[in-house]
Homo-oligomer: A and B are copies of this chain.
Amino acid sequence: MRMRTLWRVLVGPPVRARDVSREQITPVEGLSALSLDALTSVAYGPEAIIAVLAVAGARALHLVLPVTVAIVVLLAILVFSYRQVIDAYPGGGGAYAVSLDNFGPRVSLVAAAALVVDYTLTVAVSIAAGTAALTSAFPGLSPATVPICLAVLAVITLVNLRGLGDAARAFLLPTMVFIVGLLAILAIGLIHPLALHAAPLSRSLLPARAVEPLSLLLLLKAFSAGCSALTGVEAIANGVPLFKPPRVRRAKRTELLLGVILGAMLLGVATLAGRWRVAPRSGQTVLSQVMTIAVGRDWAYYAMSLTIMVVLALAANTSFGGLPVLASLLARNNYLPHLYALRDDRQVFASGIWTLAILSGALLVAVGGRTLTLIPLYAIGVFTGFTLSQGGLVVHWRRTRPPRWRYRASLNGLGAAVTAVATVVFLATKFTEGAWVVVLALPAFIMLFTRIHRYYDQAGRALGIGRIPGKPQARPMAVVVPVTGVSRLAQYGISAALSISEHVQAVTVVPSGAGEESERVRELQRQWKRWNPGVPLRVLRTEYASVARPIVAFVDRLRRRCSEPVIVLIPVALPDRLRYRFLHNHIDLVLTRALRYRPDVVVARVPVRVHVHRRAAPRR
């Protein structure tokens, strides 16, 4: 009881459906509500590029900027493509919805699987990167990386189980501090004639000599690693209904704003990292090094590090807005257990929230909270979704043929082609570094969805859902009441039984053999006679220890003999306090489990309250 009370305090009281806030947002608020995942990827995208290039030695680091430029070009293509998605699907155009609409259910499952992977990885990567920002600022915390990750995850999970309500508006402040602060620091760094501040002291991971020659493959690897910075640019197109009218115009403006800010940040970090030859270091992120050199380990640095930690946690939070809703759509279409379509007392999809928390928590533990280990897995799911969305849009434009549809189709076609090529590049270059996990996970999820769907189809037919079944028919019932002795428990059980039917039998189980036991039986029979409840007592003897076995056998014999449906009424002592429940024999649980698969056998518990007045009874 007290555990449940504590939980209620943490999660809050139940909420009415109409009380769930349906606030509507402006473009600037859209940045904080929908674009944090994309904006915060500046914390790990450039780092991923540098980590790849570093294996070719210090000389290769001047390539950070050209690779980033290529990524920003891709960003521009994506931004314009997604502005068209907003036009086409003002009701919200996630990859799942778009591909369901244009490619049919089969392909949409690919998108759904990719999204599940994507949401999970977004949570894990954002939390890992946020923790890295924290441990860069406070190196003493590094040994606790995994516990910190899990604590952040726990807080996010709890907040989402409560339901966010008006909280999204509270994201605005940290988002603004992050955007303005980081752009300011980058500007200071760019204006500075030279790095005035000492470079950070942690151990450089740059190898003394090149481990690998600089090759096209390495460049492609760096490009694909950096594409992790593009994850999240699709989120605004999913969330069009959240905007204030005119929705489409505001959403498109937000998308453009996101593109400009993210592009500027990426180019700024890449320019400074290239100019200052920032190399990967243990215990300090690239962004932390850039900030340290630009403004020193001063209040601005620490404030910014904490802000980055916070906005990355908020970025992880956006996945918690996405996956549970996707799961509820899939469940409603019979691709996931219906459990995922049920709202909780707080009107949130609790099963989806828990699933996401468990999946991403397991991932964080598996990689020890290291962002760079997760990067090779990351972009594949996202870019698969990009390709499906853009490809779906091409089909959409061809089908609907609005004005300038050819131009629109070719723009989305370009987006689809570029992201498809990028996906192939990811697969080819990152396969052995972890991408194989995603290559296995996607078909596994798709198979899970289709198998669940097949089962629901079959079960629906078997249960005759949607058809008018035969008329219900009353049949007399045989009632069995298991008892252990003459007591109020037996009285209540038999009372309920007699209320249901006249065909009632009490049964009791005794071990056969021992003389002491048959004495107990005789005593019980004497007491039964004295009580005379109007119901016969059957004594079932057994050589086995299980009490359930002989009762199940008795029920089976009864069903064979009399063809009546059988109802087993188990009197159960229910103490006032939860902790005393463990003290009563759980024969009801054993019996319920044993009889669960008997057709025509109904198992019921007759609760008999046990009022215990604490400390009222004399102590022994």
Q: Report which A residues bind B (CB closer than 8 A).
A: 14-18, 105, 337-339, 342-347, 450, 452-459, 461-477, 485-492, 494-501, 511-513, 527, 530-535, 543-546, 549, 565, 567, 569, 573-575, 580, 582-586, 596-599, 601-613, 616-617, 619-620
Contacts and interface: CB of A to CB of B under 8 A. Distances in A.
A385 to B, nearest CB: 23
Given A472-B535, A603-B604, A580 B455 contact: yes
A495 B477 contact: no
Contacts of A455: 575, 580, 583, 612
Nearest to A331: B583
A620 B534 contact: no
Contacts of A527: 468
A490 B469 contact: yes
B339 A585 contact: yes
In the assembly, how many copies of this chain are there? Answer: 2
Given A601-B607, A607-B596, A610-B459, A487 B465 contact: yes
Contacts of A456: 583
Contact of A468 (B531, B603, B605): B531
Contacts of A616: 458
A491 B476 contact: no
Nearest to A476: B499
A53 B617 CA distance: 53
Given A487-B463, A602-B604, A15 B544 contact: yes
A456 B610 CA distance: 11
B338 A583 contact: yes
B496 A602 contact: yes
Contact of A495 (B472, B491, B546, B619): B472
Contacts of A463: 487-489, 573, 608, 610
Which of A347, A494, A604 has the most chain B CB atoms inside 10 A of its CB? A604
Nearest to A486: B468
Contact of A454 (B342, B567, B605, B620): B620
Contact of A469 (B486, B601, B605): B486
Nearest to A575: B459
Given A343-B545, A468-B531, A485-B465, A607 B599 contact: yes
Given A487-B463, A533-B471, A617-B457, A582 B339 contact: yes
Given A337-B582, A462-B610, 14 more contacts: A346-B545, A458-B616, A463-B573, A464-B488, A466-B487, A468-B531, A469-B487, A469-B488, A471-B531, A472-B494, A477-B499, A496-B567, A499-B501, A596-B607
A472 B500 CA distance: 13
A497 to B, nearest CB: 8
Contacts of A620: 105, 450, 453-454, 457
A611 B476 CA distance: 26
Contacts of A575: 455, 459
A521 B580 CA distance: 43
A462 B496 CA distance: 19
A567 B604 contact: yes
A544 B342 CA distance: 12
A583 B459 contact: yes
Contact of A546 (B345, B452, B473, B586): B345
Contacts of A544: 14-17, 345
